[in-house]
Amino acid sequence: MKCYYASIFSCALLFLSNTVFSQHKDAVVFIGDSLEIQKEAYQGLNKKDKEWLKPIVNKEDFYIVSSAGDFTIANTKYKALDPLNDGVTKVLVIGNSFSDDGVESYLYDMARSVGKPLVIGNLFRGGAPLDFHLKNALGNIKIYSYRKTTIDGIKSNTDKTSILEALKDENWDYIVFQQASATSGDWATVEASLPQLFNYVYDNYPVSTVKYLYHQTWAYAQNAVTKNFENYNRDQNLMYEQIVNVSKKVPDLIPVYKVIPTGTAIQNGRTTYIGDNYTREGYHLDLAYGRFTAASTWFETIFGGIKELKYSPNFLSDVDLDIAKESAYLAVQNPYSVSAVTKYSNQKVAYIPFKKIKINFGTDLMIPSWTSLLFEKKGSGRFGVLDENNNPTAVNIVVLQNFDSRNANGSKRISFKSAVPAQVSSSYFNAVINERNQNQPFLGLRNLNTKNKYKITVIATLQEEIAPIQIEVLGAKKQLKSINPSYNRFNELVFEDIKPNDEGNIDLGFKLVKGAIEGRAVINGLLLEEM
């Protein structure tokens, strides 16, 4: 007999002998348990009692309990219970970093806020496609990081775990499949591996009441630079359409209860003023509203009621939350085509006073009081950024031309007056500056009050030797100052009394020092204050 359910049901109860000749009183069993019934006893069962049992292939005299209810074998009464009917929702994902984006940041807290106990298991392997999962399943290969959130919210990560071990770890209510993003729109790759992978799971988790889900991933940002985007001719709309076509056909391939339409939810969100800014580097989701949109889609698919959810995490404004929940709700209602979130097609730009906004560049972390601008390519940005106290503002920050890279090998031992944490100083955007691009701004601050003056502090530090560079701040007037980022521990660059231009904009760019034909610019952080 198999003990899948130790977290809720006592293993001592489960391991009571289920062999019919050793039973002397009524017995409790669970759907998915195996019973040994000798041929004579099985032949003596009536037709109704045989309906509770399913023969195990290639294992004579063993049967799987297939339904909940009461039945009798050789004068012994059995009560078959559903192991999933325990009041706790348990979700196992056979996935990769895209399932990480979907379930590991907000979903547990969302469920807890409405009194729905939740356990999440994520069999994580970066970039893993379905054929990789199938190979590991059939070979019982212990290759996954098994990331688990327990009923009390405690997170753990167990390396070198197999799919079989994860299947046996809990009494899972939902088991989720997904294809890797690079081939999520390629039906042939899904058709080739998903049925066998499903059969493996079905055979090794014989609980007939489990529900199977398929996670529809999202199309890349149009400015994504990953080579995988070439599979879709670097066309976001084409990628989305192909992902939708695949996910639409999956329920005909395996018995899927529902598709989780995260790809459609993200595409819905892109119809708002946030636009094509749902990813942090072109394909993985933005840590704030990107991941919250994905988690909202999972919540609505599994529980429903996302629009009534009151849960409000840090780093997200009420507008961010509303856009995410509306995008998810519309996606679940209409999973295979885009539904415009018309309420937020344009940003409400009424000015909101603030004291200080802190922006960090390239830090793939959620840092209290800081807003992360993660993608260094033209067109990316953050909208309605929060101030240092998580209050909403109308201010946007946008990338106006491509930086060359983002890096995380900067200075950590620093003593800036602005109390910059090491997570900010160690990450930065990097650009090679020459005569061609030194007259073009790289960053733009938008929706500022034209009647106010502002103070901008720039943090530029690098753990290596480079030449000095000039930073230009351009509003109604321009200011130009030089800095050497090399091993910079405490030298901040401060621009004061800056008025925006007539459109409420301030731009920031880089200039070569006198006599240089090429230079290198870095920016780790930016602080914007009303004066």
CATH of domain 356-530: 2.60.120
As annotated, the residues of the chain forming the CATH 2.60.120 domain(s) are: 356-530
State pLDDT tens for residues 297-335: 999 999 999 999 999 998 899 999 999 999 999 999 999
Instruction: Please provide the distance, in angstroms rounded to a whole number, between the alpha carbons at the two ends of the chain.
Output: 72
CB 419 within 8 A of CB 370: no
**For helices 262-269 and 236-249, angle between their N-to-C axes, nearest 10 degrees:** 150
Q: How far apart are CA 341 and CA 234, in angstroms?
A: 25
Which architecture does CATH list for 89-336? 3-Layer(aba) Sandwich (3.40)
As annotated, the residues of the chain forming the CATH 3.40.50.1110 domain(s) are: 89-336
What pLDDT is recorded for position 15?
33
State pLDDT tens for residues 47-71: 888 887 888 887 888 888 888 888 8
Tokens 């109308």 sit on residue: 394
Q: How far apart are CA 25 and CA 517, in angstroms?
A: 91
pLDDT at residue 241 greater than cutoff 90:
yes
CB 115 within 8 A of CB 100: no
What pLDDT is recorded for position 293?
98
State pLDDT tens for residues 74-115: 778 888 888 778 889 999 999 999 999 999 999 999 999 999
What pLDDT is recorded for position 92?
98
Handedness of CA 176, 181, 186, 188 (dihedral sign): negative
What pLDDT is recorded for position 20?
37
CB 247 within 8 A of CB 336: yes
CB 125 within 8 A of CB 145: yes
Between the alpha carbon of residue 171 and those of residues 107, 199, 400, the distances in Å are 19, 18, 50
Q: How far apart are CA 244 and CA 5, in angstroms?
A: 35
CA dihedral of 290, 292, 294, 298, whole degrees rounded to 10: 180
Q: How far apart are CA 501 and CA 520, in angstroms?
A: 27
State pLDDT tens for residues 357-390: 999 999 888 899 999 999 999 999 999 999 999 9
